[in-house]
Copies of this chain bind each other. A is one copy, B any other.
Amino acid sequence: MKKKTRVNIYDVAEEAGFSISTVSRALNDDARISAKTKVKVKAAARRLGFQKNAIATSLSTNQSKVIGVLVSELNRGFLSSLVHTLEDTAFAMGYSVIICQTNNSHEREKTYMDTLIASRVAGIIATLSLETDSYEHFEKAKEQGIKVVLVDRVSPKIKSTTKIVIDDYQTAFEGTQHIIGQGYDKIAYVSGPTKQLLYADRLRGFEQALKVAGLPLNPEWIEYSDDLSYEEGTRIAKKILSRKDKPNAIFTANNLAAISTIAYARQIGIRVPEDLGVIGFSEEPFSAFMQPSVTSIRQPSTEMGKLAVQKLVEEINADPGESYIHQKIILDTELIPRESTNRLCKR
């Protein structure tokens, strides 16, 4: 009916003088095929320029060597570095990756989930979109036998799933302690949307550190942003720094906001770190190069990426007989003190 397009195993079989099953086995290095036959078959395949059709293999074996990656955006420091590692690790383990950017839209996340299910990917590695607050689409994937690993942005509502995270509460707690240790005592906080667990945890850690240190928690000093972009950071810095009762330090839930906060502060004549200390979550490539350089918190994107792929492949290859044990893996973060909070020892 349709004309066949490219060289297939039938052609190779004819060329080599064997049946298609022998060809198939030979090409897959099946133990039952003699070395001589394999050589002949492979030679014939090469002669004809045969390229195995992965689609047909996938349909026949009902499995694929493809991993779907759901991520909000590719062009931000942490995520671009995470995806970089994911792809690299997947390649090393024989998998390809389909990248799906949700742009932080719940709707698009669901659409993509359907696409990935339709593509019969072996597994999915996902970082929840900021908007996402229901999780049926993840259940759907799992019902279809697709393994899922969540990274960084997770939810306790998604059960029976490997999760790879940092301890956001503890990290924010320690970050806050660092600022306090530098002699700042009126500390503001710029949060992401707290319906995302990680932002809620960070905020809690911040508040707890203030409490432990006996410092005031001024509700006016806590601001929220949906996307923590550079512009949002500026807007919020403006708001916070125009209050009568100004803070002398600002902790932002990402590093982009920290940078725009610094830029804005300097613009209106507030010195950093002398008058205002600034610390931000997430190390960005430029954190170290800024003037002043920015104190930040490094999330182990490389380790998270590697582990995500390894755990996913582990689960994909797990014996379907026995139940796979899902872990929540918590990785260490690293506080990188730099000039933006360095109030004690002058440069």
Interface residues of A (CB under 8 A from B): 2, 5-6, 49, 51-56, 58-59, 62, 64, 66, 73-75, 80-81, 83-84, 87-88, 91, 96-101, 103, 108, 112, 114-115, 117-120, 140, 143-145, 259, 263, 284-286, 289-291
A59/B66 contact (C-beta < 8 A), A96-B115, A99-B99 known: no
Residue of B nearest to A85 (CB): B75
Do B103 and A88 touch (CB < 8 A)?
yes
A54/B84 contact (C-beta < 8 A), A98-B66, A259-B289 known: no
Do A87 and B101 touch (CB < 8 A)?
yes
Residue of B nearest to A260 (CB): B289
Find chain B residues with CB under 8 A from A80 CB.
74-75, 80
Do B2 and A62 touch (CB < 8 A)?
yes
User: How far is A159 from B98 in the complex, measured between Cα atoms in Å?
Assistant: 28
List, sorted by A's number, 19 A–B pairs whose CB atoms are closer than 8 Å. Answer: A5-B62, A53-B118, A54-B115, A54-B119, A55-B58, A59-B59, A66-B98, A74-B74, A74-B80, A74-B83, A80-B80, A84-B101, A91-B112, A96-B100, A97-B98, A99-B99, A263-B289, A285-B286, A286-B290
- Beyond A55-B119, A75-B84, A91-B108, 19 additional contacts (C-beta under 8 Å) are A5-B145, A53-B59, A54-B119, A55-B120, A66-B98, A66-B119, A80-B80, A83-B99, A88-B101, A91-B112, A96-B119, A97-B99, A98-B98, A98-B99, A99-B99, A259-B289, A286-B289, A290-B290, A290-B291
